[in-house]
Structure 1
């Protein structure tokens, strides 16, 4: 069970400042909500030996902590102790709706980033909602109001191949074998290709980028907490994005 790797004490250590008064998500992301959601996805954090399981969970929290970070360079306890500070995009984000006959947008609803993975766009809300049996197209706000559902959307994205991309789970657990096209594009097993899956079109293949480094910083911190090596190929600076 995932709880054998991430206890409530470790969860609190990892997400040290998630309940800080400065964080808009203060009080939202609970340990029990994470465990409830994790147990609904076979294989998540339970695949392989102990080190493989730890690596997957460190990678999952590394990526999602970046997506929800409230940290800054001189933050107390360091910038990587401030994951899960946000539960939705701030300001006035757009609708994030694209024409779709399969997943049409509900009138007046917006599909901007919410939850640990910042799930966005109507098609993702539609696909995920169908998978977890929640009406996310008609009520996208559930992702920012129900912590169990919020974690479920992040784990669904993590476990599900995205278009022509492998699942983050497959990469993190060593089950993905790059094709010749992947190898030619510099996409090799490691944490960097998970970044490429999540946001490669914006962050990868452009040399050093602060966003990629931030994702790595969170991951390395969690690997240190788990007592494991982060491995090789941590960045995607020289990887071409998936088409």
Structure 2
């Protein structure tokens, strides 16, 4: 019996290892090819170079796409966090009619596939005769990222005892002072993490962005998609490497900042 269990675990580990190889080997290949000097990437790589990163920095279309993605991601994270904090406070701290309905509506975008959400919002705005714009794209990204911010902040808020807030109120502070001087500092690890997660999701989104962006507006993912449709350039590998670094680094930074901030508050 023990032998069967061990063989079962060995098989599970082997399958898991193969799945990870299948997932990450193409990513590793893109990163390695981005440093290849040759235009036609092949293995083994003979000469390593930063040529394609230099050409990438000189590509005006890609630079504009990066600027758009950075502005869009920053605004999305700020707005989603500004909405998510009071929404989480209302859900956790108060009871009101329709609370379950409001909670479901705020969380629903995370449960709906992005293609369905993108088409639905696009058709609704077409029905309202609202043209595509950067504001529409920003609104769509806020809808997508808001559930993540809400869940992160809500999870942190549940762990904050009401006694801290009640003590501040009993000492003469009003509710606004209590929030900014007691609740918000305790929430700050979740706020920082939520903002970075929202920025990462917005920066990396391509499916819904394709439906909502206006003509001439390109983000980094949609620019990669457009480049792949026209031709395969080594600059795509360099751009993919930059995207991988940003997508991986920001969530890690969010976790590190949240932990350090939490330690500083304890």
Greater Rg, structure 1 or structure 2? 2
Greater helix share, structure number: 2
Shorter chain as normaliser: what TM range? under 0.3
User: TM-score by structure 2 length?
Assistant: 0.20
Work out which structure has the larger RCO, using CA pairs closer than 8 Å and 6 or more positions apart in sequence: 2
TM-score, normalization by structure 1: 0.21
